[in-house]
Structure 1
Amino acid sequence: MKRLSSLFLVSLLSGATTLGAYKLFFDPSAPTDSQLSIAPNYTRNVSLGAAENSDFTAAAESAVHSVVHVKNVSVSKIPTNPLMEFFYGYRGDQQQTQVGTGSGVIITQDGYIVTNNHVIQNATDLEVTLNNNKTYKAKLVGTDSKMDIALLKIDSDEKLPYATFGNSDNIKVGEWVLAVGNPYNLTSTVTAGIVSAKARNLANNGIQSFIQTDAAVNPGNSGGALVNTRGELIGINTMISSVTGSYVGYSFAVPSNITRKIVEDLMEYGNVQRGVLGVEGAELNSTASKEFGVKLTQGFYVTAVSKKSGAEKAGLRKGDIIVQLDNQPINSYADMSSYVNTKRPNDIVIAGIIREGSRKDIKIELTKRELLNYDFNGLELEDIGAAEKKMFNINYGVKIKDITSGNLLKYANDLKGSIILNIDGAKATDIETVSQALSRKGEGQSVRMELITRKGALVQVITQ
C-alpha cells in the first residue's frame, strides 16, 4: 500500500510539472518572460527583436526612384609611336575612350542631381539613367573638389522623383541607415547598416568630415544616397576604406547638411562660398592637454588667430578652447570643420569657449576664405587664384604675399610672389592645410618648403 501511495505521489508531481511547463511555454494565456514577476511589486518588461521588427521597405521604395546611374565618358589622345608610323605609314591622331560609372541622387523635380566629383571628373560626356530606364544627357553645373561633390542637371518633360534632405546633425551613432546605388553596374541596389561614427576626418587638411557606416558600399555606389529609415537623404556615399578596393566593413558619406549648402552655393553663385573662423590650433586629447597645460581633453585649442578674420575681430586669442558652436558640441577639429562648412561668409556663429577656466560665449562673423591671410615667422601667406594656377600650370599651392621678418627677410625680393607647393613633404593645398601644418611646429623648429619662384624656378628653402 505504501508503495502504491509513493507511485501515486510521484505520478502526481510529474503531471503537475508537465502541466506547468506546458502552461509556461505553450499556453498563449500564460505569462511570458517579459511579464514574469521577478520580485514582489516588480515586473520586468523586455523589448525583444527590435532589429527584426524594423521595416526598411518604405524608405527603400522612396530612395531607389531618386537614385540614378551616372555614366562618365572621357576621350584622351593616345601618344603616337614614330617607329610604327615609319614602317606602317601615318595613322593620324588616335583617341582612347574610357567609360566610368557611378551613382547620383535627384534632389529637385526639375532634374538637379548631386553626385561625387570623382565620378564625373575629366568627363567629355555625361549620361544619366533613371530607375525607370529612361536615359538623359547631363550637363555639369559645378563642383567642389575639396568635399568631392558635383552638381549635374538633366532636362525632362516630366516631374522627376527626388530625395528630401534630412538633417545630418541629428543622426545618432547606432541609427539604422540604407545605402542606395549601382555597385558593379547592378542598378537600384539597397544595403542596410548602422551609423558607426560621425565627423570622421580622413583628410590631412581636416576639411572633410564624413558619416561612417557599415552599410555595404562598393565601386559604383559613389555618389549614391545614404538615407535614414524615413527615406530622408542624410549623406552622399563617397568612399570605402579597403585594401582590396571592395567593401570590407566601413564606408563613408558626405553629410547632407554640407552637401545641401554646397549645392545651394553652386546653384546661386556658381562656386562654393566657404566661410572660416580664422583660427589655428589642435584638437585636445590626453597628450595635447598635457602639452598645452590644460585640464580639458576635448575641444579645439587655439594656438593662433588669423589677421583680419572674424575670430580676431571678436576677440578670440591664443589659449582659448572652443567647446561649442551654436548648439553643436565641439570635441575635435572635424566637429568644428563639419559645422563651419555648412555656413557662408558673413554668417554669425556663437562660439562657446573656455578661457582661463571660465566659460564665455562670443559672437563671431565668419570671414570669406579668400580674404584670409596667414602669418608665420614673418611670412604672410594667401591662397592662390586662377591667374597663378594658369601661369604656373598647377592646381594647388599657397602664395607668399610678403616677408616682413625672420631669416628669409634678406631674400624677400626674390621670394615674394612665389608659390609654396609643399611643407615638410606635405602638399600645401591651401591656407587651411598650411596653417594646420605650421601650427604643430614648436619654437625654433625648422620648416622645409618647396616652392616655385615668380620666374618659374623650383627651389627649396628652410626657415625657422
Structure 2
Amino acid sequence: MTAPQPSSDSPRLSRRAALLLPGVLAACSGPARAQRGLPDFADLAERVLPAVVSIQVTSRETTGGAAESRGGPVERGRRAPLVQGAGSGFIIEPAGIVVTNGHVVGNATRVTVTTQDGTDYVARLIGADELTDLALLRITPRAPLAAVSLGVSGNMRVGQWVMAAGNPFGLGGSITSGIISARGRDIGAGPFDDFIQTDAPINPGNSGGPLFNMQGEVIGINTAIYSPSGASAGIGFAVPSDLARPVIEALLRGGRVDRGWLGVSVSDAEEQGRRQRGAVIMGVERGSPAARAGLRQGDLVTALNGEAVTTSRALVRGVAVLPPGETVRLTLQRAGRVQEIAVQIGRRPSEG
C-alpha cells in the first residue's frame, strides 16, 4: 500500500489560468440529476468546488538514520535542503478552518492554501493526529469562505456514487467520480484502519481532499492509493467522516487528540489453529497502566466495560477512544478462570 505523496515537481496552474476558474458559485437545488442511468455531476461540482483548496508545502528534506551526501556525512550544522510538496484540503468553517491529511503538511516550514478563485493564504497548523493521518489548518480570509459539511459515512453503501475533488499533480480544482468499492478496509496503516475504498481516480496531490456523496456532504478524506505505478489504478482509500469527525472536534478544541493507553502488546487469540474471541496479552510495559493493574502476559481479554472484545484490534481501538484517567473494567481469562480487573487508562505516548 502506498500513500499518495505530495508531488515535488508537479505543474501548477499559472495565476492567469487560476483566475479563469469559477469563484463562489450559486448553490444548486437538490442532488445531482441522473441522465440515461448515469449521474450528472455538474451541479454537484459547481456547488462544492469553491470549498475545495490546493495546498502547497515547503519543508526541510529529512532522511532516515545518519544524513549523508555523495561525499559522505553531511557537515555538522549544515541545513537540509528545502523541498516542495502539494496536496489538497477542504474548508469546513467559513472563518477559514481547513481539513487535510497529516502527511500532506508533515514537518512543513511553510504551508500555503489556494482557494478556487486563485487567492493564496498562508496557513497555520492547528494540530495533527498521526493515527488517523488528519490535520487541521487555519487561514485568515478577508471575507467568509465557502464551506462544506461532514456527512454520515455509516449511511453509505457499497455501489453508491461518490465524487473526489482536489489537486492532482498540482493541477488544482479537479474532480473525478466513481463508486464505493468496499468499506471497512484495513490496509495496515494503523490501529484505526477503517477505510472507504473507491474506484474514483485518486492521484498524487489528491491527499487530503474530500470524497463527496451525491448530496454534497464529505463522507471521506482521500488518503491513500494502491498502485504499482504511483498513479491511480482504481483503488483509493478515504478516511470515513464518522472516524474523522471526533478527531477534527478534538483538534479544534485543543490542537491535539488525547487517546487512552494500556501499555500492552496484544494479538488475536488462537486455539489449536482456530480463532478464539478475545485478545491475548503478549507483553506488558514496565510502569504502564496495565502493569500497575496487575495484567500479565498470557491473559485473554474478552470484554471491556462489559462490551465483548473479539480481536486485538478491537481492544486497542476500544481503549484508544477512552479519555485518559478513566477507570475501566477488563474481563479476562487467566489460567482457565474468569476475572475482572479495574484499570485506570493512561495517555497514549506521542508517536513522534
Pair in the same fold by TM > 0.5:
yes
Q: Does 1:367 align with 2:328?
A: no
Matches of 1:124 and 1:257 in 2, distance apart?
Answer: 30
Q: Which has the higher strand share?
A: 2
Matches of 1:277 and 1:94 in 2, distance apart?
Answer: 39
Q: Does 1:150 align with 2:132?
A: no
Matches of 1:219 and 1:156 in 2, distance apart?
Answer: 27
- State the AA in 2 paired with 1:69: S
Matches of 1:325 and 1:200 in 2, distance apart?
Answer: 27
SS in 1 for 2:93: coil
| Alpha carbons of structure 1 residues 331 and 223: separation in structure 2 relative to 1, 3 Å | farther
Residues 75 and 95 in structure 1, CA contact (< 8 A), matched pair in contact too: yes
1:372-423: CA deviation from partner (whole Å, max 9, x where unpaired): xxxxxxxxxxx5x7xxxxxxxxx76xxxxxxxxxxxxxxxxxxxxxxxxxxx
1:269-298: CA deviation from partner (whole Å, max 9, x where unpaired): 2321112577764447xxx4643674xxxx
RMSD, matched Cα: 4.4
Give how far 1:321 is off: 4.3
Matches of 1:341 and 1:75 in 2, distance apart?
Answer: 32
Matches of 2:310 and 2:184 in 1, distance apart?
Answer: 10
Give how far 1:66 is off: 1.4
**Match among 68, 93, 97 for residue 112 of structure 1:** 97
Q: Identify the residue that residue 106 of structure 2 maps to in structure 1.
A: 121
Q: Does 1:171 align with 2:149?
A: no
Alignment of 1:319-334 (within 5 A): 319=300, 321=302
| Alpha carbons of structure 1 residues 304 and 336: separation in structure 2 relative to 1, 3 Å | same
Residues 191 and 317 in structure 2, CA contact (< 8 A), matched pair in contact too: no
Give how far 1:332 is off: 5.6
Q: Identify the residue that residue 273 of structure 2 maps to in structure 1.
A: 291
Residues 131 and 191 in structure 2, CA contact (< 8 A), matched pair in contact too: no
Q: Which has the higher helix share?
A: 1
Give how far 1:75 is off: 5.2
Matches of 1:69 and 1:202 in 2, distance apart?
Answer: 26
Q: Identify the residue that residue 233 of structure 1 maps to in structure 2.
A: 218
TM-score, normalised to structure 2, is 0.68
- State the AA in 2 paired with 1:367: I
Q: Identify the residue that residue 101 of structure 1 maps to in structure 2.
A: 86
SS in 2 for 1:230: coil
Q: Identify the residue that residue 261 of structure 1 maps to in structure 2.
A: 246
Give how far 1:244 is off: 1.0
Matched residue count: 300
- State the AA in 2 paired with 1:165: L
Q: Identify the residue that residue 413 of structure 1 maps to in structure 2.
A: none
Farther-moved stretch of structure 1 (178-187 vs 59-68): 59-68
Matches of 2:309 and 2:36 in 1, distance apart?
Answer: 31
Q: Identify the residue that residue 246 of structure 1 maps to in structure 2.
A: 231
Residues 279 and 312 in structure 2, CA contact (< 8 A), matched pair in contact too: no
- State the AA in 2 paired with 1:200: R
Matches of 1:222 and 1:293 in 2, distance apart?
Answer: 36
Residues 174 and 195 in structure 1, CA contact (< 8 A), matched pair in contact too: yes
Give how far 1:246 is off: 0.6
Farther-moved stretch of structure 1 (139-148 vs 93-102): 93-102
Give how far 1:345 is off: 3.8
Matches of 1:132 and 1:338 in 2, distance apart?
Answer: 41
- State the AA in 2 paired with 1:226: L
Matches of 1:195 and 1:340 in 2, distance apart?
Answer: 29
Residues 101 and 135 in structure 2, CA contact (< 8 A), matched pair in contact too: yes
Matches of 1:323 and 1:277 in 2, distance apart?
Answer: 12
SS in 1 for 2:37: helix
Matches of 2:161 and 2:84 in 1, distance apart?
Answer: 34
